[in-house]
Every structure is written in structure tokens, then in C-alpha cells.
Amino acid sequence: MAKEKSGFPSFCKELDRPEGRAQWGKSLQSLSVEDERGFEGLALALCRSQARRVAPLARLLQAEGGVPTGWRRIPPVPQELFKQVRLFVPADQAPRRIFETSGTTRQNPGRHFLLDVDLYRAVSTEGARRAGVPWETVDLHFLVPSPPEAPHSSLSAMFGFWSEQSVHPSRFWIQDGRLDQKGLLTTLSEAVRSGRPVGLCGTAFAFVPLLEQGEGSALCLPRGSFLLETGGFKGRAREMSKPDFYRALEARFGISAEEIWSEYGMTELSSQAYAQGPDGVHRTPPWARVRIIDPLTGRDCLTGEKGLVAWVDLANIDSVLAIQTQDEAIAAPDGFRLLGRSPTLPLRGCSLTAEDLRSS
């Protein structure tokens, strides 16, 4: 890549081109978790680059006195902003892929515009690999719609990448919005009989009907199998604590809690964090970092303190690298314990809220 006077690559143009993006991907994958300086250099360069074309980020930087000297000072953009404006870096080019948030805010979804999914593909496969999720060694069953059926779902896209890159068979089990329970359970039973390990991956909520249907009986998935859940239950009619959920999964699928993975990602990001087991700490890949911010002070939490998750994701090259979520977590020495969506404010009584307006 071309070098700027500062010594950092000139990203603006390079990251609009496939070769430049591939080179950037290689740079990210060469980072190690301990490489604080390398991460910082790339983060600040990307921040500077994005601020040239993303006005909201430029304004936030201006309010903070310019591009900071450390990655922790990069102002995170509220996740909510993805619902209000188009945050898209590449100039004179149209996004080839748009991912949209789902859930209760369907009428006004957050939109993540990507020039291409090349980097998303690279980091979402490599990130899971580095976390230790054994997705390449088993048959994969996804409790989500396939990418063609849900072209705006970033989760479907990610599982699609896993499916493409795995040499083992894989299948998406949600069609027309319905989980094909019978077909899935028949296939899983066959896997149990033949001793072929499987990976069962989907939203936490998608597992619920499988748990309900099989209450009292276990499938006893073959050794080497794993489960991967994402999303939690917040905002759904049925809520279950994580320990209860994992116990139910263990009982239903006959595997140990350590073979259950929790994925934490979001539409507006390109990278994911993973945790193993019910007490597992979520860890990010080397090209992404998470800050846990105390909303009362605006400062980083110390280990053991609760705050809100803010991401710095160097793979988010087409929008903004730093994003503030409303997800709660407890800061840990080498990651964070995800608690889930910040509790909704106390009942607003009869005062109208944004969610009310969208759902009415």
C-alpha cells in the first residue's frame, strides 16, 4: 500500500479496491492479541481515513479535539446512528451488500452498508477458527434462514461463509420463517446413530422449540459435536437465564456445557467475540477490541465493574470502526462477561417511546 507522510498506509483509495482490502485483511490477520502498538497504529489510521468520508465520525472527532493519540480515545458511534443515517466510506461506489438489523425495530432497521463482503468473510471465518469453535470439523446445522432467503441478515451470511469453506455437509433449517424441526431432528438422530459429530448453530431463541419438543429426552450428540448460540432472549416474550438455558441444552443434546459456545456479534460490525461454556468470558480476535464503559462517568470500567460494550473493529472498514452498543457486560482481565441488552428503562407508563412509535 502507498504510504502517507505519517508512515501509515493511504487507506482512502486503497480500501476501495479489492487488492487494498485483501492487503488490509492480511494486516489484520498478522496482528496478535498482545500487539497493542500494531492495533493502535492501524486503528488510528483507519479512524483518520474514515473521518474523511463519514461526516458523523468527523464531527465526533472534532468535538473531541481531533483524531486521538490512542485507540481507546476514538469516539464510538452509537449503534442507533445506523438507523438514522447512511454510514458508508467508499466514495463514488455503491454498496454491494446491505445488512439490516431485525427484531422489534423492523420498521426502522439499522443498516450496515458494505462495499463487499470480502473482509467480513475473511474475519468471520478466521475469528471463529482462532476462538477455537470447531466449525470446520463437523457437519453444520444452522437454525437460521439461508443467505439467499435472508440476504440482509449478517448472521445468515456468516454461517453461509462457514458453509462454503467447510468440507463437511451443512444445511440451513429455517425456511419461510419456520424451523423444520422434524427434518432437523431426524437428521440429528441419524448423526447420533452414525456417530458423525455435528455443530448446531443459531439464535438462542431458535433453540427453544427444540428444547420444548424434547423435554425429558436427550439426543446425546456424538463426541466432537458443539452448539453455538447467539443473541440471548432479551426483548422476547420468553426469557431464560443463561445458566438455565445451558443446562437445558446440555440435557437435551447430551453434551457438556464446555461444548456450548456463545457468539456475540451484530449487524453493524464485521468481527465477533466468542465465549465457551456458561461462565466463559467473551474474547475478541486480535483485530477487534472491546471497551466496557461506565455510562455514569463515560470512562472505562475496571475489572469486575459493569458497563456498556463499545467495540473497535478494524475489519469494519466500510462504515465506522468504533461502535457504542447498549449491551451490558462486566469487564474481565482478558475479555468481558456479556450480560445482554441493557435493561429497558422502567416502564414509561403512558408516555410514548421510540419503540412504541415504531411498533404502533
Partner 1 sequence: MIASERIERLAPVCSLFPELGISGREDLCRLLTAALGRLDALDGFVPYGRGWSRAIAPQRLYHVLAGTVPVSGWRSLLEGLLLGSENLLQCPEQQSGAMVRFCAALPRSFRKLVRILPSYSEDDFASADAIVVFGRDETVRLFRARCRKDQLFLAYGHRASLLWLGALSRPTTHLVKGIIRDLTEYDQAGCLSPQCLILEPEAAVLPLAELLAHGLAENARLDPIPRRPEEAAKIREARTMARALGWPLWEDGDGLQWTLIVRDLPQFQPTCGHRVLYLDKVPRERLGSWLAPLQGHLSAVGVTGRVPLSVQKLFWSLGASRCCRVGTMQSPPPLWHHDGRTPLVDLIRWVDWEGPHPPTSPKKSRLLS
Q: Is 356 in the site for partner 1 (CB under 8 A)?
A: yes
Question: Which window, 151-159, 188-196, 197-205, 350-358, contacts partner 1 (CB under 8 A)?
Answer: 350-358
Instruction: Identify which range of 140-148, 179-187, 262-270, 292-300 contacts partner 1 by CB under 8 A.
Output: 292-300
Angstrom distance (rounded) from CA 264 to CA 282: 8
Q: Which of 53, 152, 234, 306 binds partner 1 (CB under 8 A)?
A: 306
Rounded CA separation 143/120 (Å): 20
Residue 353 in the binding site for partner 1 (CB under 8 A): yes
Residue 75 and residue 64: Cα distance in Å, rounded?
8
Among 84, 186, 213, 303, binds partner 1 (CB under 8 A): 84
Instruction: Work out whether 360 is an interface residue with partner 1 (CB under 8 A).
Output: yes
Contact residue for partner 1 among 40, 80, 116, 258 (CB under 8 A):
80
Among 77, 138, 206, 255, binds partner 1 (CB under 8 A): 77
Q: Write out the three cell numbers for 186.
A: 431426524
Q: How far apart are CA 49 and CA 167, in angstroms?
A: 38
Q: Residue 337 carries which DSSP code?
A: E
Task: Give the sign of the dihedral formed by CA 332, CA 309, CA 125, CA 233.
Answer: positive
| Nearest CB to partner 1, comparing residues 43 and 54 | 54
Q: What is the DSSP letter of 68?
A: -
**Helix, strand or coil, per DSSP, at residue 289:** strand
Q: What is the DSSP letter of 9?
A: B
Q: Is 359 in the site for partner 1 (CB under 8 A)?
A: yes
CA angle at 84 for the pair 282 and 357, rounded to the nearest 5°: 95
Of 26, 81, 23, 42, nearest to 319 (Cα)? 81
The answer to whether 347 contacts partner 1 (rule: CB under 8 A) is yes
CB 226 within 8 A of CB 255: yes
d(CA 358, CA 346) in angstroms, rounded, equals: 19
Q: How many residues bind partner 1 (CB under 8 A)?
A: 41
Check residue 66 for interaction with partner 1 (CB under 8 A): no
310 binds partner 1 (CB under 8 A): no
Q: Is residue 342 involved in binding partner 1 (CB under 8 A)?
A: yes
CB of 62 to partner 1, least distance (A): 9
Stretch that binds partner 1, among 135-143, 173-181, 196-204, 296-304 (CB under 8 A): 296-304
Out of 78, 151, 214, 277, which residue is the one contacting partner 1 (CB under 8 A)?
78
Is the Cβ–Cβ distance between 277 and 257 less than 8 Å?
A: yes
CB 155 within 8 A of CB 144: yes
8 Å CB contact between 307 and 314: no
Interacting residues with partner 1 between 311 and 330 (CB under 8 A): 324, 326
Q: Per CB under 8 A, which of residues 194..233 are in contact with partner 1?
A: none
Torsion angle, CA of 145/104/282/228, rounded to 10 degrees? -30
Nearer to partner 1 by Cβ, of 76 and 109: the residue is 76
Residue 139 or 318 having the CB closest to partner 1? 318
Distance, in Å, from the CA atom of 264 to the CA atom of 229, rounded to the nearest integer, reads 9
Nearest approach in angstroms of CB 344 to partner 1 is: 8
Interacting span for partner 1 (CB under 8 A) from 1-9, 24-32, 41-49, 293-301: 293-301
The single residue among 47, 60, 74, 248 that binds partner 1, judged by CB under 8 A, is 60
In the complex, the residues that contact partner 1 under the rule CB under 8 A are: 55-57, 59-60, 63, 75-78, 80-81, 84-85, 294-298, 306-308, 324, 326, 342-354, 356-357, 359-360
